[in-house]
Amino acid sequence: MADVFVSYARSDRALVAPLVAAVEAKGWSVWWDHDIDAGQQFDDQIERELKAAKAVLVVWTPTSAASRWVRGEAREAADWGTLVPVRFEAASLPMDMRAIHTTDLDGWGEDPRSAPFQALLRSLSAMIARQTTTSASAASAAAPSPAAAGRIGICVLPFANMSGDVEQEYFSDGISEDIITDLNKVSALFVVARNTAFTFKKKSIDVSQLAQQLNVSHVLEGSVRKAGGRVRITAQLIEGNSGGQIWAERYDRDLNDIFALQDEISQAIVKALKVRLLPEQKKAIEQRGTTNLEAYNLYLMARQQYTTGSEGDVRRNDAIIRLCRRATEIDPQYAHAWALLALGQMLVRLDSGKGEDGLAAAERALELDPNLATAHAVKARILSQAGRHDAASEEIEIALRLDPESYEVHRGAAYSRFRLHRLPEAIRHFEKALALAETDVSSANMLAGCYTAIGDRESAVRTAQIALERAQKILAQDPKNCAAMGFCVYALALLGQAESARGWMSRALLIDPENLNMRYNFACSLAAQLHDADGALALLEPLFADISVGLLNHAKADPDFDSIREHPRFQKMVTDAEARLAAGNDGGAAPKS
């Protein structure tokens, strides 16, 4: 079914065809049946398309306003809340349509850059995004419970770190993640996603309430104590309704036995749930990706760097690369480490234009494990940055099929849609990523910009408030985190706190004037929220002088720069950057990711 259904009078086809082409050029699918003869009755296909469309674009002209078929379609769309009307030739609207805001397109001149057409785009974007969100919510509400699907629902809470050393947090988190991954391989179980389960970390939990909230029948909780060459793991499986313990165990082992111990714990949980473990599932659980303890430990440390930080944090990305590179040197067959290495390399290349772009590492991960969703997702982002959008879309579709609940997959999907200017789709995936990771600031920041671009002020404010709150938490622990400063400024500017935003900006530029990631975010704030074109261009000029091809493609699609896109200084920066990159000089700077 199409995103946009076009209702019009057939005699207006020549007028409507350029409009349809311009809408399709923005990435939306359009259904318009220009073969229907005048007076033809509604057929089943028309009715299905009309009902399924996320937006119904009614083209009012003196001819269509007199058509009972167009008026009937407009009334149905109005009843369903999907109507987006436009008008030509100052057409007199039907009486029941006059109270509905209608965009006049007489002055659009078949120019997609014209103000009337841009106003229409904002209306369509807002309608499609709203219907997409509504549909997703309805689908979620209608989704069968684990029990209805014949599966046992379980939530694995993050195991408590009892080592007496906060630096060991990565290890207890890693044990928890591995158990979630293992149980997900058992077809008889429905396992709450890692990022949802981790939102309850270090919180006081009423197990019965939690089970009801997540619609699961069982909850697993435990602790990890790692000291020297020994590890102690305690775990208990709790029945959600009664809160009663149905299985518990304590394991004291040599650290070198950690892989066998994880297998033992997962299989004990399956046995306690009275689930039959198929031979292929048992084999899948025992495949850890690596049998080398040192490589595993390094990967867990790199994974914690990724899950607790921001993609715009250069120090964090460098650490991920160092840790994963060493892990792959120790165990060249470690697919997960190769995939995370690819992600770190991709982000550093985007930030600085230096180093590898990550494609070789992503492809190595996929050679080792073709079903690794995160590797497909990072490969998609690399391809998207290079402008290879068709190939990127193919990788994203594979990733979404393999793991529809993955944070990394939804981030990759969001960016690939964003760079194609398919903002309603990008919004859907950024919203999913935001829900999956409570530490994710960048998705909130991207959402605020996307919602602003489509004219949904309420949603833009909501996501800006989330971005501000999360960025402030980061700055409370790391006051010199430049990525977080950029997020704060953008959110404050969008929320109307211009003086505070400029104050933060001035202080941050004094602290780290060469941070290009931060400068990009500040330029977005100045252009999109503070309406300071000269200030935005001044910040962008040194950035564009050394911009990477990935960031250039990102900036060319970024709606935050729509207000300065036609400015001669901006166009010259783009032209000069394209010429430099065409000559093979790939520099780099960072977006607001």
234 vs 224: CA distance, rounded Å: 7
How many residues in the chain?
A: 593
- pLDDT tens sequence across 531-566: 999 999 999 998 898 888 888 888 988 999 999 999
Buried b (16+ CB within 10 A) or exposed e, 4-38: bbbbbbbebeebbeebbebbeebebebbbeeeeee
Non-local (6+) Cβ contacts of 514 within 8 A are none
Query: pTM for the full model?
Result: 0.67
Q: Out of 44-48, 180-184, 447-451, pick the least confident.
A: 44-48
Alpha helices, DSSP H, located in 81-150: 115-142
3: left (phi over 0), alpha (psi -120 to 50) or beta: alpha
The answer to whether 376 touches 384, Cβ cutoff 8 Å, is: no
| Class of the domain covering 152-288 | alpha beta
Query: Mind listing the pLDDT tens digit for each residue in 403-416?
Result: 887 888 999 999 98
SS3 call for 5: strand
Q: What is the pLDDT of residues 97-136, one digit of tens each?
A: 876 788 999 889 888 888 888 889 888 887 887 676 555 5
Q: Percent of the chain scored above 70 by pLDDT?
A: 91
d(CA 285, CA 533): 56
pLDDT tier at 75, thresholds 50, 70, 90: confident
- Asked whether the predicted pLDDT for residue 18 surpasses 50, the reply is yes
Token pair recorded at residue 95: 């009486």
Please state, in angstroms and rounded to a whole number, the distance separating the CA atoms of residues 77 and 60: 14
Q: Where does the pLDDT of residue 309 fall: very low under 50, low under 70, confident under 90, or very high at 90 and above?
A: low
* pLDDT value, residue 277: 67
Whether the pLDDT of residue 433 is over 60: the answer is: yes
> CB neighbours of 112 closer than 8 A, spacing ≥ 6?
22, 25, 26
pLDDT of 307 over the 80 cut: no
Mean pLDDT on 69-73: 87
pLDDT of residue 560: 92
d(CA 52, CA 34): 18
Flag the least confident range among 164-168, 178-182, 258-262, 540-544.
Answer: 164-168
**Residue 43: its pLDDT value, please?**
57
Residue found by looking up tokens 């290879």 in the block: 388
pLDDT at position 39 is 43
Q: What is the mean pLDDT of residues 17-29?
A: 87
Q: Is the pLDDT of residue 502 over 60?
A: yes
- As beta bridge partners, residue 561 has none
Q: Tell me, which fold does domain 4-140 have in CATH?
A: Rossmann fold (3.40.50)
* pLDDT (mean) for 454-462: 90
Q: How far apart are CA 546 and CA 514, in angstroms?
A: 12
Token pair of 322, please? 């160092």
Residue 190, strand partner residues: 153
- For 553, the token pair is 């493609």
The count of C-alpha atoms lying within 13 angstroms of the C-alpha of 284, restricted to the half-sphere facing its C-beta, is 15
Instruction: Quote the CA–CA distance of 585 and 281 in Å, as a whole number.
Output: 49
